[in-house]
Amino acid sequence: MKKIGKAVAALTRAMDEIAGYFLVAAVFLIVANIVAGVVFNSYILGTYEYVGFLTAAVIGLSLGYCALQGGHIAVDFLVEKFPPRARLVLELITGLATLTFFAFSSWHIVLYGLDTFRTGEIAPTTTLPLYPFIFLVALGLLVLGVVILLRVGKLLRKAVER
Amino acid sequence: MSEAAVGILGILLFFALLFLRMPIAYAMALVGFLGFSWLVSATAAFRVVSMDIFSTFTNHSFSLIPMFVWMGFLAYHAGMGTRLYHFAYKLLGHLPGGLAIATQGTCALFGAICGSNTATAATIGSISLPEMNKYNYDPSLSTASVAAGGALGALIPPSVIFIVYGVAAGQSIEVLFLAGIIPGILVMSLYMITIYLLTLRRPSLGPAGPRSGWGERLQSLSGGVWEVLLIFALSVGGLFIGWFTPTEAGAVGATGVLLLTMATGKLKLNGLKQSLKDTTRTTAMIMLLVAGSIIFSRFMAVSKLPFELASWAASLELPPFAIMALILLIYLVLGFFIDALALILLTIPIFFPVAVDTLGYDPIWFGVIIVLVVAMGVITPPVGMNVYIIKGVSKDVPLEKIFSGIWPFLLALIVCLALLLSFPEITTFLPELYR
């Protein structure tokens, strides 16, 4: 279990680092487009589509690491007042509910990506196919689901130990 | 069961999950999905979830969020906050409560390059609290003043919360940014007056520091203020005069801070790496909230609850002002429990049609009012986010002590709210000039 936890942490960290590079690329692309407009009076075709895809990659790749660090905002104060056993059971239920939701959502995004692959859907200006970016977002949600699964696993182990 | 009743049931389930510590973004997405499945079908709900998540993440209107967030974190890791505080400290430190007053000025200046309430409080808190401790400031005043000062980061442009409101309510980002300037300066002034009056009554709360000469003051001006003004003029100024779109303004601002701080040796490679990590984490948090709220708003739309609420509000024999007061009261109460950004995302689909379409209030004015009201929520118990952040910076100060110092600042925010409600021109003056 510990080994899996370490592997997931390393994977999410690596994905997060790549997300950082995509962010830098998006920022520089916009600035390059402005400079091209001012200096050469011509613009980089499809800048906004590229930036949209890069932003989707930034978000998809960083969802898991954010969850691993407890970055998604939650309200703590009420649950902390519950007895430990009740808290454990309630957290287990909500953990399983979110895990199921994100697992199904990730799968349905894959199906959506497959749909766009079959129909050959492309972005209007850059003519880039949509499916690689859709799969990237699905991967992000899948990794988020794995992080939640790890948390549920920890809670289950705690429950068994009690 | 009627569609509106399912809507109400969904809202109750959302709150139940929220209080069971389910992250707000997950709870909004899950309840939105369940409600949509109930009222339409599970297949349609999955289709909506897949398409909404992807289209939200690629939505060009949201691309500017990571850019403005990165701009703030770059400034933080390059130590720009420290130099701003140094300037404000030299200028105002000799007054009773001067360091806390200087803190408000620093929050406002830092807010001009950072779009986040919490990041402003964390940055300025880590700089100003050790100084205030050194001069024996009462911890209730020092900690509460920084927690409250964070609100200036949200009101003074650029502001992530205005961006999110603008996209959610279909309003112009640059007009919202403009509308926030005067209320931001007003809040800063009211905070400064509050601190001055408090320390005038009880000097032990904030003993005066040493007076600096004008030479020193002018010298401190070159430390960081010009950099902030330059970046603000280029990025936000460029946006106002129409050189840039909001996304371009964000990219230009981030690149400007990056180049300026690297060229002057203030930003090291480690700081750059850390700024990217902080930005991706914050972006993931915000964008999952946004995606969750969009799924939730789909459910609200099919439940027809917002329309029912709007027609109910129209049928009430109450003046619009009373209904607005009721809406603000709901925001204030919800703000005690829910994070500012999440609260805006959650409630805009419900209250925006009532306030703007039915009661006829100006949507820009409404946005500023809402941002001000949710700013109260980040400093009030039990989940005042800024207070917890400051507690993280000042670990030895009990939470109760920080909350005990908050009330005068809350009163200042209420005074500001009353002024904005009574004189809407304070908010609408600059946007009308711009239009």
Whether residue B379 sits in one domain with residue B320: yes
Nearest CA to A118 out of B44, A126, A107, A110 is that of A110
Same domain flag for B134 and B166: yes
| Six token digits for residue A140 | 């992000």
Tokens 């003993």, located at residue: B207
- Note whether A90 contacts B: Cβ–Cβ < 8 A: yes
From the list B186, B189, B184, B163, the residue with the least C-alpha distance to B174 is: B163
B165-180 per-position pLDDT tens digit: 998 899 999 999 999 9
The values of phi and psi at residue B75, to 5°, are -60, -40
Of B94-108, B140-154, B211-225, the least confident: B211-225
Assess if residue B214 is contained within a domain. yes
Is residue B210 predicted with pLDDT exceeding 90? Answer: no
Residue B219 pLDDT: 78
Check whether residue B22 and residue B89 sit in a common domain: no
Q: Are residues B135 and B20 in the same domain?
A: no
B38 & B135 share domain: no
In this structure, the answer to whether residues B137 and B236 fall within a common structural domain is yes
Domain end among B303, B328, B350: B303
Residue B171 lies in a domain: yes
CB B401 within 8 A of CB B139: yes
Residue A92's alpha-carbon distances to A151, B25, B281, B323, in angstroms, are 9, 18, 25, 41
Number of domains observed in the structure of chain B: 2
Facing residue for A74 by CB, picked from B22, B251, B283: B22
Is the Cβ pair A75, B57 closer than 8 Å?
no
| ipTM of predicted assembly, 2 dp | 0.93
| In a domain? residue B223 | yes
How far from each other are the two terminal CA atoms of chain B, in whole angstroms?
A: 47
Is there a single domain that holds both residue B36 and residue B73?
Answer: no
Rg (chain A; Cα; Å): 20
**How far apart, in whole angstroms, are the C-alpha atoms of residue B67 and residue B274?**
15
**Along the 162 residues of chain A, how does pLDDT read in single tens digits?**
778 889 999 999 999 999 999 999 999 999 999 999 999 988 899 999 999 999 999 999 999 999 998 888 777 777 778 888 888 888 889 899 999 999 999 999 999 999 999 999 999 888 899 999 999 999 999 999 999 999 888 888 877 776
Domain co-membership, B394 together with B355? yes
Residue-averaged pLDDT of chain B: 89
Residue B282 in domain: no
Amino acid at B399: L
Interface of B with A in 139-178 (CB under 8 A): none
Q: Which residue type is seen at B371?
A: V
Query: At B223, is the pLDDT very low, low, confident or very high (cuts 50, 70, 90)?
Result: low
Res B36 pLDDT > 80: yes
B97 neighbors B106 (Cβ within 8 angstroms): no
A77 CB within 8 Å of a chain B CB: yes
Q: Chain B 34-63, CB below 8 Å of chain A: which residues?
A: 46-47, 49-51, 53-54, 57-60, 62-63
Contact call for B58 and A133, based on CB within 8 A: yes
Cross-chain CB nearest to B17 (options A56, A94, A134):
A94
Domain hosting B427: range is 59-267+304-434
Q: What's the predicted TM-score (pTM) here?
A: 0.87
Residue of A48, A75, A133 lying closest to B60 (CB–CB): A48
Q: Which of B283, B303, B323 is the last residue of a domain?
A: B303
